[in-house]
Amino acid sequence: MKLTTLLFFLLSLSISAAAADIKSGDDLVSAMYKKYAGKWYKTLTFEQKTTNFDADGKATVQQWYEALNAPGKLRIDFEPLDKHDGVLFADGKVYSYAEAKPATGRPFVHPLLVLGFDVYMQPVETTIAQLKAAPLSIDMSTIHEDKWQGADVYVVGAQQGDLAKPQFWVDKKAMLFVRLIQMTGRDRKVVSDTQFNKYVKSGGGWVAAEVKFFSDGKPRTTEEYTNIRSGADLNADLWNPDKWFTVERNYWLKK
């Protein structure tokens, strides 16, 4: 047997063995963590073009600036920056700032932070607990394989063809989160579909440079990321809710 053929055979066996080990959502979360353990960036900044669509399809565009500190911390500043409007996710709470008024946090774990970033940084047990807990309430015991945008994926939370249950999709080769389906609305019957697209390399990890949100199949929001930078030594006060209005921001925001 030629060396190249042998190497290909051994590689195929290792991939098959790894796939055979993933029999539940817990196994998949563990594999996602192991894939990038010690490599994934801790901090990330980017500029975001946010396009919102109303029920008639009319689009409005906003510019946002975001700073991430994984796990669990994300700051979003809205233009115009001198108004200091924005949203902060930190330590299991969300704070909304508007009209220069202090914000009171309410409990909230951002599912896209968990699946798109924190899963590669925090203990596996923490991620699993967050995915099982409300409001996500994903059935981690149910998993199947599917296709998404031409690639093989794992789907956790629902059987094949069932898009009416909370579930997340992960690229089988890259172990990157690509899709989240949630049941939302007052009666929990609206299908909210979030898609992480156009991944680009950043530091030891990846960033989805395009994120799309759909509600019952209709586009609601598209986010486009530019000026993506990872690994910067950012001021921890950026994610301190008591210092929202006073911390220096301009060194990472567009000037």
How does DSSP assign the chain, residue by residue? --HHHHHHHHHHHHHHHHHHH--SHHHHHHHHHHHHTTTS-SEEEEEEEEEEE-TT--EEEEEEEEEEETTTEEEEEESSGGG--EEEEETTEEEEE-TT-----EE---HHHHHHTGGGTS-HHHHHHHHHSTTT---TT-EEEEEETTEEEEEESS-TT--SS-EEEEETTT--EEEEEEEETTTT-EEEEEEEEEEEEETTEEEEEEEEEEETTEEEEEEEEEEEEES----GGGG-GGGTTTS--TTTS--
Contact 73, 239 (CB under 8 A): yes
pLDDT value for 16:
45
Structure-token pair, residue 186: 């007052």
pLDDT value for 249:
84
Length reported for the chain: 255
What global pTM score does this model have? 0.91
Q: What domains, with CATH codes, occur in the chain?
A: 14-135+197-243 (2.50.20.10)
Residue tagged 């099982």 (tokens): 132
pLDDT value for 96:
97
Residue tagged 């890259």 (tokens): 174
Contact 179, 193 (CB under 8 A): yes
Which stretches of the chain drop beneath a pLDDT of 50? Answer: 7-17
pLDDT value for 83:
94
Contact 176, 188 (CB under 8 A): no
Bridging pattern class, strands 43-53 and 218-230? antiparallel
pLDDT value for 18:
54
pLDDT value for 17:
44
pLDDT value for 251:
74
pLDDT value for 185:
87
Between 3-21 and 25-36, two packed helices, what is the crossing angle to 10 degrees? 130
Instruction: Give the Cα separation of 109 and 94 in Å (integer).
Output: 8
